[in-house]
Amino acid sequence: MKLATLFLGMFVMGSTELLVVGVLDLIASDLKVSIPAAGTLVTVYALGLALGGPILTALTIRLDKRTILATTLVLFVAGTAVAVFTTSYAVFLVARTLTGALQGLFIAAAFAAATAVVPAERAGRAMAVVISGTAVSGAIGVPLGTLAGQTLGWRGSFLAAGAFAAVALVATLAVIPSVPGTGAGAASQVRYALAPRVLALLALTFLVFSSVYATLTYIVPFLHTVTGVSGGVVSVFLLAYGVATAVGSYGGGRFADTDAARTLVVGTVGVAVCLLVLYFVGTVAVLVAVLLLAIGGFAMGMAPSLQYRVTSLAGPGGALAQSLPASAANVGIAFGSFAGGVAVGAFSVRTAVVAGLVIAVVAVPVAWASGFLTAPHAEGDTDEQLAADRRPDRVPGGGRPVASAREGTHAGR
């Protein structure tokens, strides 16, 4: 129930983040702004998450994670309500920016809470449950939200999202236990959370999501002009990709627990090969569908391992580092969309795949090299402790099994 509750919170926030995409024309018409201006609502949300999430995480790092989760949901409901009732585009922009930052904070707290309620050897799978909430929101939540928007109006769809956030709040208060914050302040964690080894994994996260979204952003026009698919059939292709990301993000947790570094190498190679093949067989609908499934599975199958490795390599700065992969991913998505757009503008829709492939090829050696990075150790560690910390069952937070730091937290589950 604990992980299911965290999954629900991520699902609701992920659905709300992307809800604008499905009702963009309705919002533009209602608020009397252009379609590009309405699209800015997506951009500011992503920027709020990427920049505001780490800042809020740093400011609240000493607080109990249950308190953070509940407070974040309360404010998220309030921000969504502002979006529902405002008639001002400017106010809507501010509300979206703030709710994006709140989602970034929720993500970090959810990862901390998830790993605190499971045994050490299941930390990767716990992270995968949290991540899969966002993946499932893209596969199911957004299409349902879009349908609600077409039926109830865009305000009705946002009202429904706020109601589900309220349900997640009640569930959080009911089942999530107290998870004390770190004793150290953000200032003492920054040098660990932003150490070169951590930045290397964040760079890999950036590259992974850039490579995928350089292609995915333009997949609909690719399907139209290259594959020859149109109408409702396009939705089937997109649903296939969405389902693959959901399955990949959940299943990737087991790989993170087994060998996160190897998973990243296999995943980046898999994405690169799929994009290469997609370029050459883009006219064959069946093969395109299979490749979209594979890309979704490989890309999101890496997500738990990326989160696991970033937090682990941050060591004593793990609490602050929890929010950084989401920020790197969102910046990567923005850059990938930009790179794909440049390729399409200069050549054709098909070259968006080439842009993604080039970035994916760069990601492969970065993933391989990142496998040699090791987590820092606290001062005073003995030789025996250092040797033990090199075992693959070490978990995020730096060098000690989660269970030893919070013995008894998950007893009696």
In the chain the first and final C-alpha atoms are separated, in Å, by 10
245 shares a domain with 383: yes
* Residue 138 shares a structural domain with residue 197: no
Residues 144 and 196 in one domain: no
C-alpha torsion 45→13→296→243, nearest 10: -140
Last residue of a domain, one of 181, 207, 240: 181
Q: Are 31 and 92 in contact (CB under 8 A)?
A: yes
Whether 217 maps to a domain, the answer reads yes
Q: Are residues 231 and 283 in the same domain?
A: yes
Q: Are residues 209 and 175 in the same domain?
A: no
Asked whether the beta carbons of 340 and 358 are under 8 A apart, the reply is: no
Q: Is the Cα torsion angle 68, 69, 72, 77 positive or negative in sign?
A: negative
CA–CA distance, 173 with 187 (Å, rounded to integer): 30
Provide CB contacts within 8 A for 226, sequence distance 6+: 282, 283, 349, 350
Same domain, 146 and 245: no
Judge if 171 and 191 occupy the same domain: no
The domain tally of the chain equals 2
- What sign results for the dihedral spanned by CA atoms 353, 356, 362, 365? negative
State whether 76 and 169 are in the same domain: yes
3-state secondary structure of 5: helix
Q: By three-state DSSP, how is residue 19 classified? A: helix
Give alpha helix (H) positions in 282-382: 285-314, 318-321, 324-346, 351-370
Residues 6 or more apart whose Cβ sits within 8 Å of residue 236: 289
Q: Both 233 and 326 in a single domain?
A: yes
**CA-closest candidate to residue 225, choices 347, 340, 349:** 349
Is residue 243 included in any domain, yes or no? yes
For residue 412, being part of any structural domain is answered with no
Token pair, residue 51, equals 């920049």
Same structural domain, 196 and 149:
no
Q: Which domain holds residue 310?
A: 186-394
Calculate the CA 411 to chain-centre distance. Answer: 29
Q: Rounded to an integer, what distance in angstroms lies between the CA atom of residue 106 and that of residue 78? A: 15
What is the tens place of the pLDDT at every residue in 249-281? 777 877 887 888 899 999 999 999 999 999 999
> Does residue 207 form part of some domain?
yes
Specify the pTM. 0.73
In a domain, 230, yes or no: yes
Q: What are the pLDDT tens digits along the chain (413 aa)? A: 788 898 888 888 888 887 776 677 788 888 888 866 777 787 788 888 888 888 888 888 888 888 999 999 999 999 999 988 998 999 999 999 999 899 989 988 888 888 887 777 777 778 777 877 877 777 776 677 767 777 788 898 889 889 999 999 999 999 888 887 665 566 667 777 778 889 999 999 999 988 988 888 788 788 888 888 876 677 778 778 878 887 887 778 778 878 888 999 999 999 999 999 999 998 898 999 999 999 988 988 888 888 888 888 888 777 777 778 888 888 888 788 788 888 888 888 888 899 999 999 999 999 999 888 887 764 434 334 334 443 433 443 333 333 333 333 333 33
In angstroms, rounded to a whole number, what is the distance separating the alpha carbons of residues 128 and 122?
10
Position 242 scores a pLDDT of: 79
Residue type, 350: R
> pLDDT tens digits, residue range 125-155?
787 778 778 777 777 766 777 677 777 888 9
Specify if 399 maps to a domain.
Answer: no
pLDDT computed for residue 352 by the predictor: 87
Same domain, 91 and 126: yes
Domain's final residue, options 151, 181, 211: 181
Q: To the nearest 5 percent, what fractions of the chain are helix, strand and coil?
A: 80, 0, 20
The pLDDT score that the predictor gives to residue 396 is 38
User: What is the DSSP-derived secondary structure letter of residue 177?
Assistant: P
Give the pair of three-digit tokens for residue 305.
Answer: 């391992």
Check which CATH number belongs to the domain holding 35 and give it. Answer: 1.20.1250.20
Residue 401 is assigned to a structural domain of this protein: no
- Residue 384, both tokens: 């025996």
To the nearest 10 degrees (0 to 180), the angle between helices 2-22 and 123-136 is 30
404 lies in some domain: no
CA angle (109 as vertex; 107, 110 as ends), nearest 5 = 65
Closest Cα to residue 109, out of 254, 256, 9, 194? 9
Same domain (yes/no): 83, 232: no
